[in-house]
Amino acid sequence: MTDDTLFLIDVDSILRAKAPKQYKYIPRFVVSYLKKIVHQEELNVFLEESKDKVGVDFLEACMAFLDSKLDVRGLENVPTDGLYTFVSNHPLGGQDGVALGYVLGRRFDGKVKYLVNDLLMNLRGLAPLCIPINKTGKQAKDFPRMVDAGFASDNQLIMFPAGLCSRKQDGVIRDLDWKKTFVVKSVQTRRDVVPVHFGGRNSDFFYRLANLCKALGITFNIAMLYLADEMLKNRHKTFSVTFGKPIPWQTFDKSKTPAEWARYVKDIVYKL
């Protein structure tokens, strides 16, 4: 018999797991507010209804739940017989990940993997597509091995090299610096890199909150707690997804550092 609690969002148990020492001091009204802001009840109804869907079928159910439409361009630039690292800007934190996995999962017969925040492993339908990233705690020492295994596999890889979703700086919504991992690992495993641009934005409230936390020196990513709320605010919309031409892995030579190459690819993405 399967454990039905596995795929439901449970703020209490996530807090207990993530902050075991502090959990008993968190006021109940704070926990109640968190449940509201992550839409625990509404999302759990959806997860209950789609509990038999796994992988790309689960992503398709997510697209229907969010009523997201896509205007996809340039996918013909990407042959179906190679192995690629797909790197995208990260404007939303919800629909962008779901949509890219759905589009590429359908094109490559489900052979896709994300490098994502380990919290998403709580979603049973999504878990088979995930390589979880947790650079703290027990999984930290396994992280390099899991990334290596992902790149060495025969799956297409989807990455958001900024790690966080886009922020608003000087009036412009743009990713923070891209990490160099995708460059280093793509060269090591001879994967061409496909730049992807996803069109969309979160609410002004989200950007103000993120900037306020930064100004106050708060290191915990509080804005992340609001991503489910932002995702539901972005329902019933059409998003543009543009695939650029694959960049041969040989491009990333010693003429630039991996961090400079990461910046180079990021610039290409924002010109798509």
The model's pLDDT over 80-129, given as tens digits with 9 standing for 90+, comes to: 999 999 999 999 988 999 999 999 999 999 999 988 766 676 677 888 88
Shortest CA distance to 133 belongs to which of 118, 123, 120, 121? Answer: 118
Residues 102 and 210 in one domain: yes
Question: For 231-235, what is the mean pLDDT?
Answer: 93
Residues 116 and 139 in one domain: yes
What is d(CA 183, CA 159) in angstroms, rounded to the nearest whole number? 11
Residue with tokens 């960049």: 247
Residues 71 and 157 in one domain: yes
Residues 17 and 84 in one domain: no
What is d(CA 107, CA 126) in angstroms, rounded to the nearest whole number? 18
Give the Å distances, CA to CA, from 184 to 18, 143, 193, 246.
30, 15, 11, 16
**To 10 degrees, what angle do helices 11-18 and 28-37 make?**
120
Residues 92 and 40 in one domain: no
Question: For 218-241, what is the mean pLDDT?
Answer: 88
Tokens of 148: 């290596």
**Which CATH number belongs to the domain containing residue 207 in this structure?**
3.40.1130.10
- Strands in the chain per DSSP E: 69-73, 84-88, 112-117, 130-133, 156-159, 167-169, 172-174, 192-198, 238-243
Residues 41 and 66 in one domain: no
- Sequence-distant (≥ 6) Cβ neighbours of residue 207 within 8 angstroms: 167, 168, 173
Residues 60 and 44 in one domain: no
- DSSP 8-state class, residue 163: S
Question: For 32-61, what is the mean pLDDT?
Answer: 91
Q: For the chain, what is the domain count?
A: 2
Residues 212 and 264 in one domain: yes
The model's pLDDT over 163-176, given as tens digits with 9 standing for 90+, comes to: 888 999 989 999 99
Asked if residues 201 and 173 have their Cβ atoms less than 8 Å apart, the reply is: yes
Which range of 72-81, 117-126, 133-142 scores highest in mean pLDDT? It is: 72-81
Give the Å distances, CA to CA, from 185 to 4, 190, 191, 245.
37, 8, 8, 19
Name the pairing type of β-strands 112-117 and 156-159.
parallel
- DSSP 8-state class, residue 166: -
Residues 117 and 30 in one domain: no
The model's pLDDT over 7-37, given as tens digits with 9 standing for 90+, comes to: 677 888 878 887 788 888 888 898 899 899 9
Q: Which domain holds residue 44?
A: 1-49
Considering 11, 26, 49, which residue would you say is the last residue of a domain? Answer: 49
Residues 180 and 266 in one domain: yes
- Sequence-distant (≥ 6) Cβ neighbours of residue 166 within 8 angstroms: 89, 90, 91, 173, 174, 175, 176, 201, 202
DSSP 65-85: HHT-EEEEESGGGS-TTS-EE
The model's pLDDT over 190-201, given as tens digits with 9 standing for 90+, comes to: 999 999 999 999
> Does residue 58 carry a pLDDT above 90?
yes
* CA count, 13 A, side-chain hemisphere, 249: 16
**Given strand 112-117, what is the order of strands in its sheet?**
69-73, 238-243, 192-198, 84-88, 156-159, 112-117, 130-133
State the burial class of residue 103 (Cβ atoms within 10 Å of its Cβ: 0-12, 13-18, 19+): buried
Give the Å distances, CA to CA, from 175 to 104, 140, 187.
22, 24, 23
The pLDDT value given to residue 164: 86
Q: What pTM, to 2 d.p., does this model score?
A: 0.87
Residues 111 and 28 in one domain: no
Asked if residues 11 and 40 have their Cβ atoms less than 8 Å apart, the reply is: yes
Q: How confident is the model at residue 213 (pLDDT cuts 50, 70, 90)?
A: confident
